[in-house]
Structure 1
Amino acid sequence: MSVGIVMLVHTALGRAEQVARHWARAGCPVVIHVDKIVPRRVYNDFVAGLADVSVIRFSRRHRCDWGTWGLVAASQDAAELMLDKFPDVRHVYLASGSCLPLRPVEELIEYLEERPRTDFIESATTADVPWTVGGLDQERFTLRFPFSWRKNRYLFDRFVELQRKVGFRRRVPPGITPHMGSQWWCLTRQTLSAILQDPDRRKYDRYFRHVWIPDESYFQTLSRLYSTNIESRSLTLSKFDFQGKPHIFYDDHLQLLRRSDCFVARKIWPHAERLYQAFLTDPAGAMNRTEPNPGKIDRIFAKAVDRRTRGRPGLYMQSRFPNQGWENGLTAGKYSVFQGFAELFEDFEPWLARATGAQVHGHLFGPARAEFAGGQTVVNGALSDNAALRDANPRAFLTNLLWNTRGERQCFQYGPRDNPDINWHFSRDPNAQISVVSGAWAVPLFKSNANFADLRREAAKLQKIEAKMLDELRSPDVKARVRIWTMAEFIEAPMEPLQVIIDEIGLKAPRRLSEAPRMADLTGFGQFLQNLKNQGMHPYLMGDFPVDPAPRHDPTSARKPYLIKK
């Protein structure tokens, strides 16, 4: 009878009875405190159901609202009853009705008997750890909190603001330094009795009664006055998420709990039949005798928190979707955007597919439809080529395409005739590789058979749109990999930029291009641009394009061969 169990029960009384009997069968006396909010009839039935167990007692009831003094008062009364009725108890273990022993109780008893003067209680100053969630660290010890944070949040916040504004501060009682930690402790009789019988207890109780969440600071602070050997850790596995809410363990956490090597876990779902069956009625399945090490599963919890708060790149979650900048990466993978290449080269898309092995689409954001590779009308994820559906949310269209085709590089064409709303999304996406040959949109106009007045009007419109696009791509906030060439400089030496682009896509081993795309016939294009200038439209995005470009290889007559006689 070296270990006594204090249980704070609020709900799921049936499970609490099951666990209390488990503790008692191992020879541990149990003192149960039942929240005063539990109806009297339900409480009486609970007491009657445990009347046959001689080592179970019930302490005076308190109302235990979260973050209030009632939880400390309940622990005090139950601990006093334990020390009074069971003089052989050496350690008192505080647990809740939703706690579940993970190892045979005999192992806990043996573990504590080997450490008769060690107190296991998480205890650290607010300056040393960043545990607190809610914005109150040291202030929880210097302000007053007459209103419930959960039930009267507005009054709670306003009263805190008022105290800050007027400079109100409570004095911490001399001789103590506020500490914080988990409320689930295991204290020796000497330390616990010294706290409960302290001559200054009324002064300390009066002070902590107005501390915010005193159950995480009362025993954690006062144990520092009397304990000769504190191990600042809890023997109870209790994990919290990024909002400070406890993780709940379900049936599928069975193997995870086994790996923790902890004696007790909190908080167990009341309907987790598999967990209660495994840990309360299966001694053969108990864990090996080893030091409790919740750190073994900390990596899993850290990964779960990261997944919940940041998610996976390119996958938008309900918790982050409305907030721009909360996404963990705009898209799920790298992709390439080509502007002007399909206009400048004939059959550019099949050439690029052969050269890179990537999935190469046409103008995904074209005015008529999304031009998927191979002329498909529906692609992965049931994405339709319907322009109206796509333009309802073009950013989501791109995000879904890249998510549904993970593992395959996507390339597509873009230009001033396409939906311009997506351009800024490209530019701020680190996954985007954007290559632009400015002014190449004029090549289809040059080859068309339209009236020149219509061509001039269309050219002025497209140039204005592309100029705005280029301004966005040159913004200091751009995170994409952007390359921009004027048409004039690009056609001077097209192989070098093509080689750079292909190498950057990097799906195949780097090699020199053995096949070049066939460039459109630009004979007369310079004169076409000059005609636009003559009509008052200045096509400057093409660069310095000569009216009659000099041939690349002068057709000079070949030199006559001459012989050297020996």
Structure 2
Amino acid sequence: MTVGFVMLVHTALARAAQTARHWASSGCPVVIHTDRKVDDTAFDEFRAMLADLDNVSFSPRYRCEWGTWGIVAATLAASEIMLRDHPQVGHVYLASGSCLPLRPVQDLNAYLAARPRTDFIESVTIEDVVWTKGGFDRERFTLRFPFSWKKNRRLFDRYVDLQRRLKRQRTIPAGLEPHLGSQWWCLSRGTLSRIVDDPDRAVYDRYFRRVWIPDESYFQTLVRLHSAEVESRALTLSKFDYQGKPHIFYDDHLQLLRRSDCFVARKAWPHANKLYASFLSNDPRITKNAEPNPGKIDRLFSRATERRVRGRSGLYMQSRNPREGWENGKTCEPYSVFEGFSDLFVDFDGWLAKTVGGRVHGHLFSQERVEFAGGEAVYNGALSDSAALRDYNPQRFLTSLIWNARGERQCFQFGPADDQQISWFMATDQNAQISVITGAWAIRLFQLGLNTPVIRKEAARLQAIELEHIAILRSQYTNARLRVWTLADFIENPMDHLQAITEEISPGTRRRLTEAPRMADLRDFGRFVQMLKNQGMNLHLAGDFTVGLDPAPQPSGTARPYLVK
């Protein structure tokens, strides 16, 4: 007994002929169905390529549209010829023109000879299928699908909607329990003969003619009626992506395919010369006598699919960039945003860089220019300090900065005088650590020493901007780690707040601060706040500052470092 191959061919005819010749020359009968859509001239040339082989024959041609009955009809017609003309065949192996043999034919014959009654076909109930695509589960068996999904999408959708509204359902033939599975199978002669010669076949054919994608359910369902021993798996290595489209194997998949131990792979790229040269051989030295084990490479395919679908955290690619919410993490690593700290403390950037060891920038979103650390004009990844270039897409500017400097903690200043387009992005980014001292921006206005309506208007403008920014940070959509103090609250106990922030940036250190940043001189700041109130502008974001009770430094001799004022 030997195995016979039924091939469904519709493209790459030269490669299909090469594969058919390989099997036929190894003593395996081959029956080929060629899609009716193939040009007659091309078909005649295809037949001529195999005319010298007496165990290769061609079946009647059907038009095979994806998801329609034509594929099943073609398979049945070719199977009938195989069973009729080749009594020595013990198993029939269904393959496509793009299938590539991975192991010698004698290996496959030996494997099947040891399992003469076993049918290898993926066949699972509807409830157990998780890979179906197109939105139909049991409905694919209870509705009618007379229109091509690819060619007549509008008619297809309208007819489905009509049946749902009218609650019209088909009756599944008695005795059938619908099953689904891969189209590619290897059935024993006995089982395939019983399917082909079933006295109720006309009923089954008429029913499945209007089933959605019948090539994934016809044999998978009927084999349960006629098989004595079903192995619910395929001997063909066939991998699909998250959209249900088959993976294509190229020359660089050579070693991967060898590790699978499968007998056939689908589908190989027609121009993969190295693959075809390597595998179309019956060299006994590569005979493994191993159980087909596609699981060996499943992990690699899963990782590849995960990478393709989700990408890398914080790295944007064309397929996901246009769709908000499809990103795999807005940024790739944690970063820290400080609002008001450079106003309250003198040379806060230098102190922070020395304390946490990260890269501390100035105001990256300043209206005038990007204030990179050290005053650099160009940063990692050729990021320019041009505000115009940055503002073209502030979100991608920030994600690029974090990606290009991964491995080093990025910290930067932000405030109401900066460009605010980035506010929502930072608030919804789980990698952001945002610390805010509200009203601290007023210290810069106070240091100008002016008492004019211009100062009052500027204070009112900045407070309105910060109010909107704080509302964004406190929204229900915020994912960032957030700390917010008023200026008055923060300066009551600044060292504890700074300690908490630095511990979060460098969680492994867990050591008390030994050096504190120098606080700006706030003498008469309370009088400045009162002056603004007298002019009608209430600086409430700064907190409660009483005239004459300005902040004073902590006395020396305490157990923790004190602020030098």
Query: With structure 1 as the length reference, what TM-score do the two structures score?
Result: 0.95
Task: Report SS of the residue matched to 1:93.
Answer: strand
User: Which amino acid is 1:121 matched to?
Assistant: I
User: Which amino acid is 1:71 matched to?
Assistant: I
Does the aligned pair in 2 maintain the 1:358–1:507 contact within 8 Å? no
> CA separation in 1, counterparts of 2:330 and 2:415?
21
User: Which amino acid is 2:290 matched to?
Assistant: T
Say if 1:282 and 1:440 are closer, same or farther in 2 by CA, change over 3 A: farther
Does the aligned pair in 1 maintain the 2:491–2:551 contact within 8 Å? no
> What are the Cα deviations for residues 75-104 of structure 1, in whole angstroms up to 9, with x where unaligned?
111111111111111100000110001111
The Cα shift of 1:285 comes to 7.0
Say if 1:14 and 1:285 are closer, same or farther in 2 by CA, change over 3 A: farther
Q: Which runs of structure 2 are paired with 1:514-533 in the superposition (5 Å)? A: 514-533=514-533
User: Which amino acid is 2:171 matched to?
Assistant: R
> CA separation in 2, counterparts of 1:433 and 1:487?
19
The Cα shift of 1:72 comes to 0.8
Q: Which runs of structure 2 are paired with 1:383-394 in the superposition (5 Å)? A: 383-394=383-394
Does the aligned pair in 1 maintain the 2:331–2:402 contact within 8 Å? yes
Does the aligned pair in 1 maintain the 2:6–2:79 contact within 8 Å? yes
Structure 1, 307-316 or 161-170: larger mean CA deviation:
307-316
Q: Which runs of structure 2 are paired with 1:149-548 in the superposition (5 Å)? A: 149-281=149-281, 283=283, 286=286, 288-506=288-506, 509-548=509-548
Task: Report SS of the residue matched to 1:350.
Answer: helix
> What are the Cα deviations for residues 108-140 of structure 1, in whole angstroms up to 9, with x where unaligned?
110000001100011111112112101011111
User: Which amino acid is 1:323 matched to?
Assistant: R
> CA separation in 2, counterparts of 1:96 and 1:272?
16
Does the aligned pair in 1 maintain the 2:523–2:550 contact within 8 Å? no
> What are the Cα deviations for residues 271-317 of structure 1, in whole angstroms up to 9, with x where unaligned?
01111111114737736331111112111222222222211111222
Does the aligned pair in 1 maintain the 2:104–2:281 contact within 8 Å? no
User: Which amino acid is 1:46 matched to?
Assistant: F
The equivalent residue for 2:62 is 62
Does the aligned pair in 1 maintain the 2:522–2:551 contact within 8 Å? no
Does the aligned pair in 2 maintain the 1:279–1:286 contact within 8 Å? no
> CA separation in 2, counterparts of 1:90 and 1:18?
24
User: Which amino acid is 1:509 matched to?
Assistant: T
The Cα shift of 1:250 comes to 1.0
> CA separation in 2, counterparts of 1:551 and 1:352?
22
Say if 1:551 and 1:386 are closer, same or farther in 2 by CA, change over 3 A: closer
User: Which amino acid is 1:56 matched to?
Assistant: V
> CA separation in 1, counterparts of 2:285 and 2:140?
44
> CA separation in 2, counterparts of 1:22 and 1:553?
90
> What are the Cα deviations for residues 417-471 of structure 1, in whole angstroms up to 9, with x where unaligned?
0011211211111000000111110111111144522111111111111111111
The equivalent residue for 1:143 is 143
Task: Report SS of the residue matched to 2:485.
Answer: strand
> CA separation in 1, counterparts of 2:171 and 2:86?
37
Does the aligned pair in 2 maintain the 1:102–1:286 contact within 8 Å? no
Does the aligned pair in 2 maintain the 1:258–1:287 contact within 8 Å? no
Say if 1:83 and 1:332 are closer, same or farther in 2 by CA, change over 3 A: same
> CA separation in 1, counterparts of 2:410 and 2:447?
29
The equivalent residue for 1:120 is 120
Task: Report SS of the residue matched to 2:355.
Answer: helix
Task: Report SS of the residue matched to 2:158.
Answer: helix
> CA separation in 2, counterparts of 1:554 and 1:14?
87
The Cα shift of 1:509 comes to 2.4
Does the aligned pair in 1 maintain the 2:338–2:436 contact within 8 Å? yes
> What are the Cα deviations for residues 360-394 of structure 1, in whole angstroms up to 9, with x where unaligned?
00000011011001111111122111111111221
Say if 1:554 and 1:402 are closer, same or farther in 2 by CA, change over 3 A: closer
Aligned length: 555
> CA separation in 2, counterparts of 1:239 and 1:132?
14
Does the aligned pair in 2 maintain the 1:346–1:520 contact within 8 Å? yes
Q: RMSD across aligned C-alpha pairs, in angstroms?
A: 1.6
The Cα shift of 1:508 comes to 6.1
User: Which amino acid is 1:531 matched to?
Assistant: M
The Cα shift of 1:327 comes to 1.1
The equivalent residue for 1:563 is none
Say if 1:165 and 1:553 are closer, same or farther in 2 by CA, change over 3 A: closer
The Cα shift of 1:476 comes to 2.1
> CA separation in 1, counterparts of 2:554 and 2:294?
79
Task: Report SS of the residue matched to 1:207.
Answer: helix
Say if 1:333 and 1:365 are closer, same or farther in 2 by CA, change over 3 A: same
> What are the Cα deviations for residues 50-74 of structure 1, in whole angstroms up to 9, with x where unaligned?
1111211111111111111111111
Task: Report SS of the residue matched to 1:84.
Answer: helix
Does the aligned pair in 1 maintain the 2:143–2:170 contact within 8 Å? yes
Q: Which runs of structure 2 are paired with 1:60-99 in the superposition (5 Å)? A: 60-99=60-99
> What are the Cα deviations for residues 213-272 of structure 1, in whole angstroms up to 9, with x where unaligned?
111111111111110000000000111111111111111111211121111000111001
> CA separation in 2, counterparts of 1:413 and 1:284?
69
The equivalent residue for 2:15 is 15
Say if 1:285 and 1:382 are closer, same or farther in 2 by CA, change over 3 A: farther
> CA separation in 2, counterparts of 1:69 and 1:500?
68
Structure 1, 49-58 or 480-489: larger mean CA deviation:
49-58
Task: Report SS of the residue matched to 1:90.
Answer: strand
Say if 1:553 and 1:91 are closer, same or farther in 2 by CA, change over 3 A: closer
> CA separation in 2, counterparts of 1:342 and 1:250?
56
User: Which amino acid is 2:439 matched to?
Assistant: G
> CA separation in 1, counterparts of 2:409 and 2:283?
53
The equivalent residue for 2:133 is 133
Structure 1, 289-298 or 430-439: larger mean CA deviation:
289-298
Does the aligned pair in 2 maintain the 1:142–1:172 contact within 8 Å? yes
Query: With structure 2 as the length reference, what TM-score do the two structures score?
Result: 0.96
User: Which amino acid is 1:400 matched to?
Assistant: S
> CA separation in 2, counterparts of 1:298 and 1:222?
29
> CA separation in 1, counterparts of 2:315 and 2:176?
50
> CA separation in 2, counterparts of 1:77 and 1:41?
22
The equivalent residue for 1:108 is 108
The Cα shift of 1:14 comes to 0.6
> What are the Cα deviations for residues 493-531 of structure 1, in whole angstroms up to 9, with x where unaligned?
111111111111117623211111111111111111111
Query: Identity, % of aligned pairs?
Result: 63
> CA separation in 2, counterparts of 1:86 and 1:554?
99
User: Which amino acid is 2:328 matched to?
Assistant: N
> CA separation in 2, counterparts of 1:489 and 1:521?
17
> CA separation in 1, counterparts of 2:426 and 2:452?
34
User: Which amino acid is 1:549 matched to?
Assistant: L
> CA separation in 1, counterparts of 2:421 and 2:359?
23
The equivalent residue for 1:561 is none
